[in-house]
Amino acid sequence: MTKKINWKQEIISYAFLILGSVLFAVGDVMFVNPYHLAPGGTYGLSNVLNALYPWKVSLYAICMDIPLLLIGTWILGPKFGFKTILSTILIFGATFVLETVWGYKPVIFEHMQEFANGRPDETWLEILGTDMYFKPDYFLNTLVSGGIYGLAIGFVFKSGATSGGSDIISMILHKYTKISLGTLVMIVDSCITLTSLFLGQIRLPIYSILLIVIESKIIDLVVDGIKSYKTAFIVTDKVEDVRAFIINDLERGGTCFVGTGLFKGQERKMIYTNLNRTDLVKLKMNLRVLDPNAFVNVIESAEVMGNGFVPLPHNDK
């Protein structure tokens, strides 16, 4: 039986993909590239190559992305869906157009001027393709770049696509080694970030790493949202009182387990429930009244799906 396509969801998904791809190009061409930063990925390496051997960043990147997609498909199988391929093409196209029209002029800088007698001191950076130089503001630019990159990649992930690029190298290495994929992604991106040392400034990899940290936090916010959920495990002898408070006052559900205490070997009941931050505060305040002897373990929940929380994902294709 063919599943019905949810056209509204598909339109929103592709809107996220297009928006994320365009934002990525804006972040790279107008913020990351002028400062010679290399925050991982094929575009990070392309920025370094662009500074050493001037050629369009988009052309460097696509020359790496296409072989990586082909090699990845050959070794790993067809894991890269249509949206990932489309994202690669859209980012390439948006970057090519933007660097052709805008060039590599920075948006954030302290001063900009033309020096008639060659390059000024190292506190100024050259704008590629022109005779202009600018005095950079590395910290502010890194903050803005990380925010734009995070939004861009977050939107791409939210659309159901993946970043592809250097991540494919990590996936291939993961297949033939026992190293975790997350560790390999970090190693590959760190190696790319360190290539900015060839540009002669120790600050470049440091700011690039800071950019990656900011980017990762923004990606989490875009993909998972700003809500923070907690999981509480409550061991109590007043199960009915605590249950009534959770259901009636907090309007939450939960599950009750029966277990045996290790110390005395007595049978105890434990309630498992998921709460937001506000509900948790209310629970802790009232548990002192409901059962002063209750034992509570609260852990951070990366994501909670189901009734009353984030809807379960579904595939309408």
Residue 272's H or E segment, with its range, is strand 267-276
**Full domain range(s) for residue 205:** 7-224
Q: Are residues 198 and 118 in the same domain?
A: yes
Residue 17 within a domain: yes
Do 194 and 135 fall within a single domain?
A: yes
Contact in structure between 154 and 218 (CB atoms under 8 Å) = yes
Quote the pTM value. Answer: 0.77
* Count of domains observed in the chain: 2
Is 1 a domain residue? Answer: no
User: What pLDDT does residue 284 have?
Assistant: 85
Task: Tell whether 166 and 237 lie within a shared domain.
Answer: no
Residues 119 and 235 occupy one common structural domain: no
Number of H helices, E strands in the chain: 10, 7
* Co-location of 120 and 185 in the same domain: yes
Co-location of 267 and 197 in the same domain: no
- Are 188 and 251 part of one and the same domain? no
Task: pLDDT band for 111, please (50, 70, 90 cuts).
Answer: confident
Which pLDDT score, from 0 to 100, does residue 317 have?
43
Is residue 2, in this structure, part of any structural domain at all?
A: no
Query: Which of 102, 99, 12, 16 has the alpha carbon at shortest distance from 57?
Result: 99
- Token code pair at residue 193: 């970030």
Domain-located, residue 306: no
Within a domain: 185? yes
Domain C-terminal end among 170, 201, 224: 224
Which tens digit of pLDDT belongs to each residue from 50-99? 999 999 999 999 999 999 888 888 887 776 678 888 889 999 999 999 99
Which two tokens mark 10? Answer: 């598909």
Phi, psi of 141 (to 5 degrees): -65, -40
Task: Using alpha carbons, select from 291, 279, 294 the residue that is nearest to residue 233.
Answer: 294
236 & 116 share domain: no
| Cβ neighbourhood burial of 206 (10 Å; 0-12, 13-18, 19+) | middle
199 and 258 part of one domain: no
Tell me phi and psi for residue 248, to 5 degrees: -85, -40
CATH of the domain at 240: 3.30.70.120
pLDDT given for residue 230 in this prediction: 84
Q: Are 53 and 97 within one domain? A: yes
| 32-36, 111-115, 227-231: range with highest mean pLDDT | 32-36
User: 145 and 44 in one domain?
Assistant: yes
In a domain, 313, yes or no: no
